[in-house]
Amino acid sequence: MFVAFDNIPLEHERDLTNSANERIIIPESFILTDYILSQLLSILEGLEFNYDNIKRNLELTKGQVLSEKIMIELVKKGINRQEAHEILRKCGIASRKEGKGLKETIMKESKVTELVTVKELDDWLDPKNYIGTAIEQVERVVKRLGKFV
């Protein structure tokens, strides 16, 4: 790819010194792209999901991996962002030391329990609520790719 940088000084001059590079760079780029796409298809065709392992991995941190959502929601409820961050930091440390889930340690914080219900916290700690528009994006890509298959 560094060969392409050699063409920059000649961008507006257009003598023959850079055309030789382009005769190699452009076709090689397409060949590489084709290879990458072939490899991707090969990987995707054999892709399998082990849902038990996914769930186990998500539960390894006992909710701490989802703490950003809690902080955002606490800010929406009126807690200062820095204060929400500090609450979660302390709860995260306590959670690890005590071997308890983040939910358990957060529910001991009076500042949080005054504003948040257990149901809300359960919702914030549910990984299924973190997929955003992923399903729609995948369906859109599959639909577009279906035209080419």
Whether pTM exceeds 0.85:
no
Mark whether 76 and 115 lie in a shared domain: yes
Torsion of CA 122, 127, 68, 103, to 10 degrees: 30
How far out from the chain centre does Cα 40 lie? 19
User: Domain residues for 95?
Assistant: 61-130
The reply to whether 85 falls in a domain is yes
Tell me the average confidence (pLDDT) per consecutive run of 10 residues in the chain, 149 residues long: 67 65 82 95 90 90 88 93 94 92 92 91 89 90 80
Q: What is the CATH number of the domain that holds 98?
A: 1.10.40.30
Cβ 64 vs Cβ 101: under 8 Å? no
Mark whether 76 and 23 lie in a shared domain: no
DSSP assignment letter at 9: G
Q: What is the pLDDT of residue 127?
A: 86
Q: What is the pLDDT of residue 87?
A: 93
